[in-house]
Each structure stands twice: as structure tokens, then as C-alpha cells.
Amino acid sequence: MASETYAKAGVFGVFCLVVALAAPEAHAQAMSVAPANAVIAVDEIQQFTATGNLTPSLVSASGSHTCALGPAGTVRCWGYNAHGQLGDGTTTNSSIPVAVMGVTNAIAVSAGHHHTCALLADGTLQCWGQNDYGQLGDGSTGSSSVAVTVSGINTARAVSAGAYHTCALLADGTVRCWGDNDFGELGDGTNVSSSTPIMVTGLAAPTTLTAGGFHTCASLQDGTVQCWGRNDYGQLGDGDTPDSSTPVGVSGLGPAAAVTAGGYHTCALLPDGTVRCWGQNIFGQLGDGSSLTYPVSAELIGLTPLYSSTLPPGSHSRTPVETADISTATAVPTGGFHTCASLSDGSAQCWGQND
């Protein structure tokens, strides 16, 4: 089977290639990409064709590398690898998926800025890549091109990697975070970074967890959403802009089924299939066709792709803005400066930065 995609080089010549094949495909792991190891000039567009079978059940993409959960709990990654974030024991970039060394029985994977973490079936966590802030969670600050075990966690139910921090939801309903804490993104009431997991204070019965660029959010059992960390664009959704080192409630948001944090914005999927977003809107990543700069609600124009030129710099919302005429969203993944929604008919729409 073959799949085609396109990559465009940015300022640093880094691109991301994602290939997902249907689950019924054969479980063979042979895969090739043509052309291999192509050199792409800035602003040049190159077509790639991938052949073979990868059969991932989950794909997680960061700004410069991508990882996929494969058969038998294996993990494969590709892309930028200067910090060892591909986990293959090298720091060599790869345009084809490479196996993460020593990781088996993985059931989830999350790619951060320059690090990656996997949740294993036994409730433990393994991370690899950049570790300047302790985001690998093993008690050190040395980067690793092979997976290391996160200290003190053996009952994890979910893991989410942010830019330079990582968080995990445990079976007892608590959340632990580790790594950079300059903006309070670890949620322990301090701004002290930690290379081992520490407990987030003040959360009651979280059900989902998401780590953004420098902030973190959780949806709770009662449907409310709480966020903590950096808040200069209102990405915590509490109607204000000071950072918070402890969880604060998102204002004006009805019960949420899930929440996802982007670089400097956050979006929530509601049970009725509608979407609300808040935070930075410089590139239109909130999906709002207006240029509101005040903490008030405004109707979105639906899941219509918007380019950044439609909004002036600095436009953002400190509270959720409500989508209009959208009732079929099933998931809302967020990127650094863009947002996408999967719809119940199998289609997807995206908006925000599109350079």
C-alpha cells in the first residue's frame, strides 16, 4: 500500500511526515519513503511516497517529530532527532520510522517539543529525548536517546507531553507533572522545576489530561475544566491573564467531554459535538472571524479554515468562544498555532497558522 504526503521546509528545514494505515492491513513493519533523506530548501515543497505497512493505532505529532504506536506495543518515530527524541539510540534525523529501543507493551505515546513519552500496559512510563528541564522524569537533567523509566509511577492511565514538561493521570485520580515549571505548569503551587513527578494540587476527579506549550489542563468528572501554568494569552480560560501555579476553573464553559491544549491556546469538545476555544488567536487558531480582544463570548463561524491574515496580532480570548452550527465534532486536536476537528462523517477541518 502506498500513501502520499507533502512536506514544506521551514526556517530550520524541519518537517513532519505522518502516515496512518487502516488497522486491517498486514502487521508487517517494512516501510520505505521515496525520495529518502531528501534535502528541502526553505519554501520548497517536496512530495513523498510511503510504501509498506506501519499499522499504527495511535499517532502523536510535535512540531518537528512524530511517533506512532504499532503492533505488540512497539513505538516508532521519525523526523528531527538532535535530542534523541526518536528513541533509537542515535541523534540522527530520520525520514522513515525507526524503532524506539527497549519499549514494548506500550499502549499510548505522546510527543512533546523535543521529547517523547510512552505509557506501558503495566502503568509505568518511559520517556526519551531532551531533558534539560527534567521532562523525562528520571531524576536527571541529561538528555537520552533511549527510553528511561519515569521515577515513582506505576499506575498511570494517561500521559501528555508539553513543550518542556510532562504530566500523567494516575489510577487514584491524581495528576503528577515534571519538568519545566517557570510558569507554574506543574501545578504544585511553585515555580520550581522538577526532574521527578510531583502532585498537582486542588484537582478533584480528573478524567482527561492535556499538556500544552507551557500550560496544562484537565477535564473533571463533573464536566468542568481546570487549567494551570502560563496565561499571557488567556489560555487558562479564567477570564484573566496572570499565570497560575495551581488549577483555575475555565469560565463560561458547559460540561466538556475532552480538552486539548495547544501552544498558547486551548479547546474543549462538548458532549453535543460543539467546540469552544480560548487563548491566543494571532493565527486564527480559535476559529473566530472577529478581532475580539476582551473576555467576552463571540460566535465562531463554524469549522471554517481561517488564515492568520484575517486577524490582527494580539487578538485573543480569555474565556471560551462558542462555535456556531457545529454539532458533529468527535475530537479536537490542537497544534502549536492551529486547531483541527474530526467530524462524525469521517472528515476533518483545520484552521489557524497555514504558512
Encode pLDDT of 7-42 as tens digits: 333 322 222 333 333 333 333 344 556 676 666 554
What is d(CA 273, CA 255) in angstroms, rounded to the nearest whole number?
11
Encode pLDDT of 49-95 as tens digits: 555 555 677 999 999 999 999 999 999 999 999 999 999 999 999 99
Residue 115 is predicted with a pLDDT of: 98
For residues 226 and 47, which has the higher predicted lDDT (pLDDT)? 226
Domains observed in the chain: 54-197 (2.130.10.30), 202-304+323-354 (2.130.10.30)
For residues 261 and 348, which has the higher predicted lDDT (pLDDT)? 261
State yes or no: pLDDT of 279 exceeds 60: yes
Mean pLDDT throughout 116-124?
98
Question: Global pTM?
Answer: 0.80
Encode pLDDT of 219-260 as tens digits: 999 999 999 999 999 999 999 999 999 999 999 998 999 999
Mean pLDDT throughout 94-102?
97
For residues 134 and 299, which has the higher predicted lDDT (pLDDT)? 134
Residue 320 is predicted with a pLDDT of: 84
Output the average pLDDT for the chain. 82
Residue 317 is predicted with a pLDDT of: 83
Mean pLDDT throughout 267-296?
76
State yes or no: pLDDT of 44 exceeds 60: no
Residue 37 is predicted with a pLDDT of: 63
Identity of the residue numbered 52? G
Encode pLDDT of 180-222 as tens digits: 999 999 999 999 999 999 999 999 899 999 999 999 999 999 9
Q: Please give the share of the chain, as a percent, with pLDDT higher than 70.
A: 75
Residue 45 is predicted with a pLDDT of: 56
For residues 107 and 21, which has the higher predicted lDDT (pLDDT)? 107
- In degrees, rounded to 5, the angle at the alpha carbon of residue 63 between the alpha carbons of residues 60 and 64 is 95
CA atoms within 13 A on the CB side of 8: 6
Residue 311 is predicted with a pLDDT of: 37
